[in-house]
Amino acid sequence: MSLHTDGFTLWFTGLSGAGKSTLATAVAEALAGSGRPIEILDGDEVRTNLSKGLGFSREDRDTNIRRIGFVARLLSRNGVIAITAAISPYRDTRDEVRRAHDARFVEVYVECPLHALVTRDVKGLYAKALRNEIAHFTGVSDPYEPPHAPEIHVRSDAESIEESRDKILAWLRANALIAAAAPPASTAASSAASILQTA
């Protein structure tokens, strides 16, 4: 019996500081009035609560992503909009999570070039990684494999949060995963008047 009539997973991937969590929250807030159940699985929070003790080796990163994917799969197949925000650096592990899903899996690549990330990094983590003061830092000393064909691709260095959010919402509407936006009141009134005139 299929339970994923309304649920789906929105999987944000991208480098640290690219804006995944910010965008995930913006999309969740935009959908909050829809009456649909929504859960955000943030990478940092999952590491604290579900993946405590894991490091940043390839094996530990994959374990962390599989755990996030498992929870997202359970949520989405039971009608929840599961929104994940984690670096998830390895393409084959993301694809593995996609294949395991029962409900629709929508990958969102939040792209941002390294120079922009270094500029916006108030904690100076990228600068430390570039000086070899932090090991296993994705995008510097550890690889990040961008998706070949994500469902949605946004550029956080070139788009505002609102522009990226609206691009994501438009894709979800176009693919019937969320309801179409209601027309403005003036448009609805004009349509009603037109119908009356031609009746």
Whether 88 is catalytic is yes
Cβ pair 78, 36 in contact under 8 A: no
- Show the tokens assigned to 93: 């592990």
Q: Which residues contact 147 (CB under 8 A, 6 or more apart)?
A: 13, 91, 94, 107, 109
Tell me how far apart the alpha carbons of residues 7 and 80 are, in angstroms, rounded to a whole number.
Answer: 5
Region of 94 on the Ramachandran plot (φ > 0 left; ψ -120 to 50 alpha; else beta): alpha
- Show the tokens assigned to 166: 């609206």
- Show the tokens assigned to 129: 């990684």
Judge residue 92's burial from the number of C-beta atoms within 10 Å of its C-beta, 0-12 exposed, 13-18 middle, 19 or more buried.
exposed
Q: Which residues contact 57 (CB under 8 A, 6 or more apart)?
A: 136
- Show the tokens assigned to 98: 């996609």
Catalytic residue among 88, 156, 190, 194: 88
Cβ pair 66, 11 in contact under 8 A: no
Q: Catalytic amino acids? A: 88
